[in-house]
Chain A
Amino acid sequence: MNVLKKPIILLLITTVMAFALLFFYRAPMDVNILYIGGSVMLISAITYFAIVYFKLGDEYLFLIVSMLVVLGTLMLCRISYTYGIKQIMWYLFSVCAFYISFFIYKYAKPLNKMGTFYFILGVILFIATLLFGTRSGGAKNWIRAGVLSVQPSEFIKLLYIFFLASYFSGTKDKLVFSKFKEKYAVLFCVYLYLGFLVLQREWGIAVLFFIIYIAMEYIFEHDLMLILYNFLFAGLGGTLGYFTMYHIQVRIATWLDPWTDVSKTGYQIAQSLFAISSGGFFGSGLGLGKPEYIPAVHTDFIFSAICEELGMFGGVAIILLFFIFTYRGAKIALKLPLGFDKCIASGITVMFGIQTFIIIGGVIKLIPLTGITLPFISYGGSSLLSSFIALGVLQALSDREVSK
């Protein structure tokens, strides 16, 4: 089988089929959709060949992500044409951002000395969100600037990983204010971030931040007692939150049993489960299901829509793609020498892996639902942009490992 040696061809076949199907799905038929599909194909192909030809590091990362983006935009165009077109626009921007972040990371040197800067920038973004933010779906996490809506937490995510990496790659015995060990100062910063996220009711990202911290602490400092204390503290905080905050109670209750209040709090998850189960193994076929019944189907619940129309096999394919992606990320991290780069690579890999698990686990009711986007697939410029910036960094790191 010759195509198996060239997965890019399979990617292009998928893209062609996806947009051809969309072309027939739309009534009246719109030739623009073919142009759009063509341009998506072109961008993927050019970037892929650039990576291979100029030897810009790992060639699989971008390939996997392109497949995810194709499946995501396909689903979005099917759910809502406007969302789909917007998302493709954002994809163009994001690929530019990918190149920019790739070159910045590759050539800018003192990135590891700016831990404090990352932290403070993050705090500023948080405060800005709290001051100017607008509420959307329970979470206050958007800043509107003219026509643009930005979700700062998507970018804080990256700053947070850079901040942690600066710390874990530095000398760790240094004292801050001649009193505290730096370890505890960082811990304080982490919990400050978590505090902000709780204030904005971004539970999903809060959990993600916590796990990223634990994972990096485990890998690079290996202070098991500290990790244990963190879990105890988080457990305590969680329990306290459960008894004091109505939202958490509702989330847990709907996770355990969405059916008692299916018309209100359990509605989303019930609709998601209906969608997934109606798809069966091969799905209803694109455009033949009813994913529009799920609220927020284009963002948090896009995985359910994929399961409905592309079937369980489609859903499993998404999970497998994310798994190979995570594996490649870990591989890059493993090959790098101990230091800032290794921390960044590990942090980004853990971020993509865990974020995927949190949202997919949430929509299939394996774990309580916490709103967070599915990287590269969910609708949203901020999410796509930040994911591609992270991808650019990972790409630069894989290049470093190759050129070493």
Chain B
Amino acid sequence: MSGFYSVLASLLKYIFVTVIYLFIFAIIRMIFLDIKKANGDKRKPQHDTTYLELITNKNNLYFDVEQSYPLASDVVIIGRGEDCTISINDLYMSNQNTQLWFEDKEWYIADMGSTNGTYINGEKMTDEPLILDSGDRIRIGQVEFVIVIVGE
């Protein structure tokens, strides 16, 4: 092997490793910036419709539940069943537990004859539907939401 090559390779190895690490650093940096941006977005959730915000701590639950559910349609059914509008795999929920609907510019809530019932602001609902105000707490099974009514 030529002496020239030996010198070249011995010198270049330092530069080579440095460039690789710069590359790794650059990628980590960009990923970091990405996450920061994504987190910045998350802090201000944009809702242009009425939505349910979870107030139970998600980490104590063994099943999946979103932090918030927009009420996109005029009739929303919450329950364990997969065909529900909001399907939550909570064993304390019935297949179809609670119904919410929009009528005459008001959101109504009714329990659908569930085993464990629906609680509004801590009180168990009777069979009568109720009109919801923004900020009412709704407990179904092991999860509790607060309803945020947007618009009129």
Contact = CB atoms under 8 A, between A and B. Distances in A.
Judged by CB atoms under 8 Å, the answer to whether A and B touch is yes
B27 interface: yes
A12 to B, nearest CB: 10
Contact of B30 (A25, A60, A287): A60
A13 interface: yes
Contacts of B17: 282-283, 310-311, 313-314, 317
Contact of B26 (A10, A309, A311, A328): A10
Interface string A23-56: 0110100000000000000000000000000000
A10 B23 contact: yes
Nearest to B62: A222
A337 to B, nearest CB: 9
Given A4-B26, A285-B12, A311-B13, A25 B5 contact: yes
Interface of A, secondary structure class, is helix
Given A17-B19, A311-B17, A285 B9 contact: yes
A4 B12 contact: no
B131 to A, nearest CB: 32
Interface string A253-282: 000000000000000000000000000001
A68 B6 CA distance: 25
B27 A324 contact: yes
Interface residues of A, number: 40
B102 interface: no
B21 A317 contact: yes
Interface in A1-33: 3-7, 10-11, 13-14, 17-18, 21, 24-25, 27
B72 interface: no
Contacts of A27: 1-2
6 contacts: A17-B19, A24-B5, A25-B9, A60-B27, A282-B14, A317-B21
Given A285-B12, A314-B17, 16 more contacts: A4-B26, A13-B19, A17-B12, A24-B5, A67-B23, A283-B17, A285-B10, A286-B13, A287-B9, A288-B9, A309-B13, A314-B16, A314-B20, A321-B24, A324-B27, A324-B31
